Structure 1
Amino acid sequence: MARRRYPPITTGSDGLYHAWVVVGTKPNGRPDQRHVKRKTATEVEDRVDELLEQKRAGAVPRAGRGPTVQSWLLDTYLATIAPGTIDPTTVQGYRSKVVNHVLPVIGALRMDRVVADNIDAVYAAMRRKGLADATVLQVHRILARAWKIAARRRVVPRNVLVDVDPPTAKRKEMTPLTEDDARAVLAAAERRRNSARWSVALALGTRQGEALGLRWPYLLMECDECGATVKLTDWWSAGRRRCRGCDSADVGAVARVWWQLHRRSHEHGCAERAPWPCGRKRGGNCTARRLPLRSGEIHVGGGLILKEPKGKGKRTIPIPPELVAALHAHSEVQGLERMMAESAYAAHGFVFADPLGEPIDPARDWRDWKAVLALAGVRDARVHDGRHTAATLLLAQGVDMRVVQELLGHSTIKVTEGYTHVASKLAREATQRMGRRLFHPPGTP
């Protein structure tokens, strides 16, 4: 007897047309049969064809009523899936963008009924608010990831975001400090506490969190001959200038950028999502507040944590001899502060700390940077512009791009290539100054 491949369509006592389609097998081993009920036989045939096509593609949605966009994004993706691979602070930022920009437009729609036009409507609403193209692109990436996982888990039959063109965002122009500005900043910083903080930023190109997360045990003297290492503080106290193991003079200082200091917001501990039983809006004011920590992270007080840099950020950077001298002077000042504070001094071991050894909050570090810029008479700039400055100066001096990528911990060479046009301009100005000095006798115009 021939096997019936297309399910029969029957008329029920309710006056509607019915069909039953087997689309797979349930976890308990029983057939996964879907009931199709429509007003006309044509509508039933269309739905049956859709289910059979999904069955052939292995993309049949789960049985039952699909979740809404709000339910999937807030209760599932951002609550249970994303925290497994994404930093909690980043998840909080995702949640804010979803609540403010996505849910007001499509939050009530069912996931399996969202089409490309609905996603376009979200982006159009954001642009009407005057939001930056980069923000729209961030929302697109959040939704693309959420829908990709939903399709993989058969919450939706397919990823509708593949039908949506990603918004375009212009790359933000980098504005590093000039070499003269960098010198002025270092000169102004000498009159302030923790002056070596800005020497590290401009010489090593560290990120703010990496510089604030530096600890003395991660500053080492390394022998190029035998590879032996000794803590920089022990090297100074011993007064040696050669390797203790092989007596080689090829010894240089290195910084292991293995941690970064980061501020993380507390979350509500009274419930998973609003409305909050504690009656407080901010998680930091919740009576049962909690600080989310991932594996390997270290809580150092308040909302400050130490975590490993992402991607290729974990690296070892050579320290110039001039910076070693600045760090030595800084350590002596810190030693006096430790003696004055006695038992009140915290034993965290931070290179840059407050007078009691506690880590420096990134917000306070930002204020210190602004004060140094004002004192130096240099234009206003972000803390991160110090990193841009280090990158462009290295490239302008002819340092190989791959080396710069390794020193700064860029994830890809394309990030480093973004500095080349600025570095080329600096290099051209430098060669022009050199030409004037070499080929124009003193006193000539």
Structure 2
Amino acid sequence: MKLSKRSVEQAGTTGSRYFLWDEELIGFGMRVEASGRKTFVCRYRSGGIRRQYTVGRFGTITVDQARGEARRVLGSVSLGQDPSAAKQAQRSVLLFRDLVAAFLEGHGPKLKPGSRKDYESALVGHAVPALGNLAVNAIALADLNRLHLKLADRPYRANRVLSYVGSVFSWAQRNGLVDKGFNPAADVQRFKEPSRERYLTSEEIKRLGEILRQAETAGLPWEIKAVGSTAKHVAKSNRAEIYPPHLTGAVRLLLLTGCRLREILNLRWQDVDLDRGFLWLPDSKTGKRPVLLSSPAVEVLRTIPRSGIYVIPGANADTPRHDLNKPWSHIRRLANLEDVRLHDLRHTHASIGAGAGLGLPIVGGLLGHKSTQTTQRYAHLADDPLRRAAERIGDELNRTLKQDA
């Protein structure tokens, strides 16, 4: 048939792919997918090999526009050219910066917000400045090794950047942008990463408990820098800040539950079941999971006033708090815990359980470790031993928190 606006619109689906060919311009046709998607193509032979050139999708271009482009393509074939091969050659000069942009657009929405932010920081901040103007298929092991060595003073960051670049190449393979198996990042030797895990000692937990009690009663004194280029205020010896229960409660919950920071900051009251002693996390790092609460953790939650949707509200009662950087920096400085990160409270929770002889499967179950998916032989463990473990860890931590340093 002659392809026209009417005939193209009337072409229906048959449950499988088929082609309609134009009777006027030989080689010009339309591919109709099982889904109903319609794409204009043209076929020709070059050097005895049949080629197919994709002209464009119906709806994006009209039939007349597609026919005009097909006429141009077929005309170039008669002059000895191979438009399909030229198009493939053009794809081969895809620049790395354009590949990163395509990756963030195509894969970024599938990442959690925090992960996407870290990907963008690593790729746009480090990889693109070093590799952005290189053709993707020309990037070699030596190029990535130079990028890696530039960050030698930050081995953790260097390894993450390399890992994210590897993810870009893996995504490009799945989407046909590079050849299968092409991932030069996979062969770069990573820096050895010293363990970053930090566990609070009993004495340190006591100091932390004392500072938390002071923060919510008398308040914590501020030591403001009064000299130097960054000084903005004059230090006042009598200035103190009293922290509301939801801030000190957030720190206690991180320690008493072993939850990750975002799991606590994104926690909604509707996901808290104090009667049965559970938190229901709908979107934790390892997916939907329950968290067993010890009695001390339940007690902390009961002291936090309900002022909106979230347990730890932000500036707006119906939005979660963005982070705990400022209060935690203040608290840990006065508790002489300058090197302790908020995530180390989770490590401390786990270390108390492991040190009490509860067993790694039990501790892993409490913390919601993803590795529990590979330890199904422990699936017979019921809530009772987990409950005892949660209570034992909570009691031990709470007893230490309430001791005076």
- What TM bracket, shorter-length normalisation? 0.5 to 0.7
Alpha-carbon offset, residue 88 of structure 1: 4.2
Alpha-carbon offset, residue 318 of structure 1: 2.0
In structure 2, give the amino acid aligned to 1:311: T
Contact 2:314 2:322 in 1 (8 A): no
Q: Secondary structure at the match of 1:142?
A: helix
Alpha-carbon offset, residue 71 of structure 1: 1.7
Match of 1:210 in 2: 263
CA distance, structure 2, for counterparts of residue 138 and residue 415 of structure 1: 25
Deviation string 1:120-174 (CA, Å, 9 cap, x unpaired) is 33323x24xx442222222222222222232333323341427723423314331
Matches within 5 A, 1:83-232: 83-124=108-149, 126-127=150-151, 130-158=152-180, 159-161=182-184, 164-191=187-214, 192=216, 193-194=244-245, 195-221=248-274, 232=275
- Structure 1, unpaired ranges of 5+: 1-18, 36-50, 52-59, 222-231, 233-251, 259-307, 336-345, 417-429, 431-445
**Matching residue within 365, 371, 376 for 1:412:** 371
- Structure 2, unpaired ranges of 5+: 1-45, 56-69, 78-84, 217-243, 376-395, 397-405
Q: Secondary structure at the match of 2:169?
A: helix
Deviation string 1:104-135 (CA, Å, 9 cap, x unpaired) is 333222222223333333323x24xx442222
Contact 1:204 1:317 in 2 (8 A): yes
Deviation string 1:31-73 (CA, Å, 9 cap, x unpaired) is 99xx9xxxxxxxxxxxxxxx9xxxxxxxx99353431112222
**Matching residue within 307, 311, 320 for 2:294:** 320
Q: Secondary structure at the match of 2:199?
A: coil
Change (3 A) 1:21 1:203: farther
Contact 1:123 1:136 in 2 (8 A): yes
**Matching residue within 300, 309, 312 for 1:352:** 312
Alpha-carbon offset, residue 85 of structure 1: 1.9
**Matching residue within 376, 393, 396 for 2:352:** 393
CA distance, structure 2, for counterparts of residue 310 and residue 202 of structure 1: 18
CA distance, structure 2, for counterparts of residue 355 and residue 68 of structure 1: 42
Match of 1:69 in 2: 96
Contact 1:220 1:255 in 2 (8 A): yes
Contact 1:61 1:155 in 2 (8 A): no
CA distance, structure 2, for counterparts of residue 169 and residue 209 of structure 1: 28
Change (3 A) 1:411 1:118: same
Change (3 A) 1:414 1:71: same
Contact 2:257 2:297 in 1 (8 A): no
Identical residues among aligned pairs (%):
18
Q: Secondary structure at the match of 2:284?
A: coil
Asked whether 1:371 is paired with 2:345, we answer: no
Alpha-carbon offset, residue 377 of structure 1: 5.0
Contact 2:141 2:188 in 1 (8 A): no
Contact 2:260 2:346 in 1 (8 A): yes
Q: Secondary structure at the match of 1:317?
A: strand
CA distance, structure 1, for counterparts of residue 113 and residue 189 of structure 2: 25
Q: Secondary structure at the match of 1:190?
A: helix
TM-score, normalised relative to structure 2: 0.57
Alpha-carbon offset, residue 210 of structure 1: 1.6
CA distance, structure 1, for counterparts of residue 87 and residue 194 of structure 2: 39
Q: Secondary structure at the match of 1:150?
A: helix
Contact 1:206 1:408 in 2 (8 A): yes
Contact 2:315 2:321 in 1 (8 A): no
Match of 1:40 in 2: none
Asked whether 1:254 is paired with 2:307, we answer: no
Alpha-carbon offset, residue 391 of structure 1: 0.9
**Matching residue within 270, 281, 285 for 1:310:** 285
Contact 2:199 2:345 in 1 (8 A): yes
Asked whether 1:381 is paired with 2:340, we answer: yes
Cα RMSD after superposing both structures: 3.8
Contact 1:353 1:359 in 2 (8 A): yes
Matches within 5 A, 1:16-55: 20=47, 22=49, 25-26=52-53
Deviation string 1:201-244 (CA, Å, 9 cap, x unpaired) is 211111222222223222215xxxxxxxxxx4xxxxxxxxxxxx
Change (3 A) 1:218 1:183: farther
CA distance, structure 1, for counterparts of residue 311 and residue 186 of structure 2: 51
Contact 1:315 1:407 in 2 (8 A): no
Alpha-carbon offset, residue 413 of structure 1: 5.8
Match of 1:227 in 2: none
Alpha-carbon offset, residue 395 of structure 1: 0.7
CA distance, structure 2, for counterparts of residue 415 and residue 371 of structure 1: 40
In structure 1, give the amino acid aligned to 2:193: K
In structure 2, give the amino acid aligned to 1:157: D
Q: Stretches of 4+ moved more than 6 A in 1?
A: none
CA distance, structure 1, for counterparts of residue 98 and residue 373 of structure 2: 37
Change (3 A) 1:413 1:26: same
Change (3 A) 1:22 1:92: farther
In structure 2, give the amino acid aligned to 1:316: P
